[in-house]
Structure 1
Amino acid sequence: MPFDTLTAEKWIASDISPTPTSSKRKESRQRVLLRAQIHVVRSQSDLLVTDISRSGLRGSTDIDLRVGQPAYISLDDLTHVAGSIRWVQDGRFGMKFSKMLDVLPECAQVDLGHLPDHQERMPRTAARLKAKISLSSWSSSARVRNVSKTGMMIESDLPVSPDQQLLVNLSDGKILNATVKWVEGDRVGIQLTTPVSILHLTYGDLR
């Protein structure tokens, strides 16, 4: 289901807490106190986007989808966009985003149409974009305790194991792709698929 943007606590300091991998670190970490939503990836597949608007997209994929199902789309291999499946037909589908994308000019946000029964919608742009679609098996809230540009340590009661793929939703609603590296009790070390700035991770701005 769609989920709300999560807020970050305004606090940051040097990381002084040991973890199972502290002796192997090659990058500086910052100690933080962030809230996040963790999604365990059940399946992932390539996707061809055929048209897109700020509110949704249409595309085709080999993965099995059903109407109303939550899904996550990555257009840049860095972040994901959450949404729900609106229709499915012969490998093609339509998806509505849970949060608006900034992909079209502000001056052309709504297609007003000319017929009396026309329903307003965001204008769509024809495209042939390669992307990825991911489906989640379950989700849980988590606390992020420290971050680096390639990973983070979280606390969560979500049952995960090493090498499992996750989607991590931070404060601005953008969703990062990650892999579980180690688990110790309710603490989980995860590695981000694509490195990002520590400040971007801390304050939730990946733009």
Structure 2
Amino acid sequence: MEQVEQQQGASAERRTGKRHSAVLLLGKVCADVPGVCLVHNISASGLMARFVDVPNVGDSITIEVRGLSPVSGTVRWVNGRKAGIQFDSPQPYEQIFSHENEDDTVPRPPRFPVALTADVRLGTHKFTTAMLDISAGGAKLQAEGPVQTGLAGHIVVKPLGTVISGTVCWVQDGRFGFRFVSPLSMDTLAAIVGLR
């Protein structure tokens, strides 16, 4: 009985402040080699996430999610692939639910720089090009030939062979944005980001 009370007390101690469950936002672990995590809940004082590369208790960690600048914190607990992070300072976590930033831009998921090759098909136009960055919802690629906003098609990320359908959402300075039809899963994004 005493042990149960201690565990409940420890849980209560860990979880202070208002928390949002089932947020399910893909996050970026900012490091020399960026990592991917899936944030399950978040508050002003911390978050709980599932990690591809699980950190250790006591590690310092910096995580970026949609609507927030990179946030530093400390790993307080680990259970399987999940870990609890206590932020170094309170965060305006409500911003992750905003449809617009203070500067009138749209919050977007964290982007991961990559140096990969992709086969692209847009309508009848096919070409192989460089992929410059990727997020859960889209990618930036080098444009080859006639690429126009609104064209639908797919990209094949090499060497994985992952096929991703989507639409060209912008074209500028010889590059274009490709918005995915469906967001990538944490494991798929991590596999692509992990290619070196």
> Which of structures 1 and 2 has the larger relative contact order (alpha carbons within 8 angstroms, sep 6+)?
1
Smaller-chain TM-score bracket: 0.3 to 0.5
TM-score (norm: length of structure 2): 0.42
Kindly indicate which of the two structures has a greater share of residues assigned to strand: 1
Kindly indicate which of the two structures has a greater share of residues assigned to helix: 2
TM-score (norm: length of structure 1): 0.40
